[in-house]
Amino acid sequence: MPALDGFIGAIGNTPLLRLGKLSAETGCEILGKAEFMNPGGSVKDRAARYIIEDAERRGTLSPGGTVIEGTAGNTGIGLAHICAARGYRCVIVIPETQSQEKMDLLRVLGADVRPVPAAPYKDANNYQKIAGRLAQETDNAIWANQFDNLVNRQAHYETTGPEIWRDTDGRVDAFVCATGTGGTLAGVARSLKERKPEVKTVLADPYGSGLYHFVKSGEIKSEGSSITEGIGSSRVTANLEGTPIDDAVRIDDQTCVTMVYRLLREEGLFVGGSTGINVAAAVQVAREMGPGHTIVTLLCDRGSLYFARLFNSEWLRQRGLHVPQS
């Protein structure tokens, strides 16, 4: 294998992992794309790369410039890695409700981390809007704007989708994915459906998000809340708009937690809550479709970013959740 071009050269071409116990239980091939194997540890490395390279091509990001983003963490981590490699300053506005591990890692990577109180998108003090204003006020700076910058979904249209098609030899029957910015589901869905229109695309959603009801009824409506970070939304982003979505599945927190621990104990995979949502939803879709189908989802990121929460039995207990027995 030839040497890769630094951090950026290592992004993408992650393997598909067969989840043996779940495949045996459902009679389907349940495959998880190992996005935690990206160099920054998550699927968000892909969008971070495309956003920065696009700004460089267009000349909106010049040498010595600043990349500013509002993020729940993983996109910021990818941006911070690339900024360090490219010589840019990185400023991350993040809701203070996100895990301390994410904030600590961002600071280690050299980012200027600015935690802010959590606020809904309609609020002027929402973390995304603060990041946008900050970019306007800063010389030689760009706002990555991952939610509405269509380069995000282009990254997955050009890389993630074709990789799934290649590695399944076109034998993919359904793609299941949670969404925050909408970029991953939007790009992969478009890519796969161009090649095979009958591929079923399914949005996996936690409680507290309005997207499940949007897919089912066309109305944004949220119910309940969730411990998951970085997924779910109260609006249809520019990236998600117009995406061909066939169905939606909603996963509660205990189902998510149980799946995260199953993946750890049965597959040796140390992953986060978004992955728990994805895989639990993929299992539900497999059972609905019946044996003999191939279901692909994403193993989004590493569990180490959630060690003090998702892997802390006392923290879970305080929220009415429990660690499943082996």
Q: Which of 44, 102, 193, 200 is catalytic?
A: 44
Cα-Cα end-to-end distance for the chain: 39
d(CA 172, CA 170): 6
Q: Is 200 a catalytic residue?
A: no
HEC profile of the chain: CCCCCHHHHCCCCCCEEECHHHHHHHCCEEEEEEHHHCCCCECHHHHHHHHHHHHHHHCCCCCCCEEEEECCCHHHHHHHHHHHHHCCEEEEEEECCCCHHHHHHHHHCCCEEEEECCCCCCCCCCHHHHHHHHHHHCCCEEECCCCCCCHHHHHHHHHHHHHHHHHCCCCCCEEEEECCCCHHHHHHHHHHHHHCCCCEEEEEEECCCCHHHHHHHCCCCCCCCCCCCCCCCCCCCCCCCCCCCCEEEEECHHHHHHHHHHHHHHHCCCECHHHHHHHHHHHHHHHHHCCCCEEEEEECEEHHHHCCCCCCHHHHHHCCCCCCCC
CA distances in angstroms from 152 to 51, 52, 137, 155, 325, listed in the order given: 7, 10, 24, 5, 39
CA distances in angstroms from 250 to 22, 119, 151, 208, listed in the order given: 19, 23, 27, 10
Catalytic machinery residues: 44
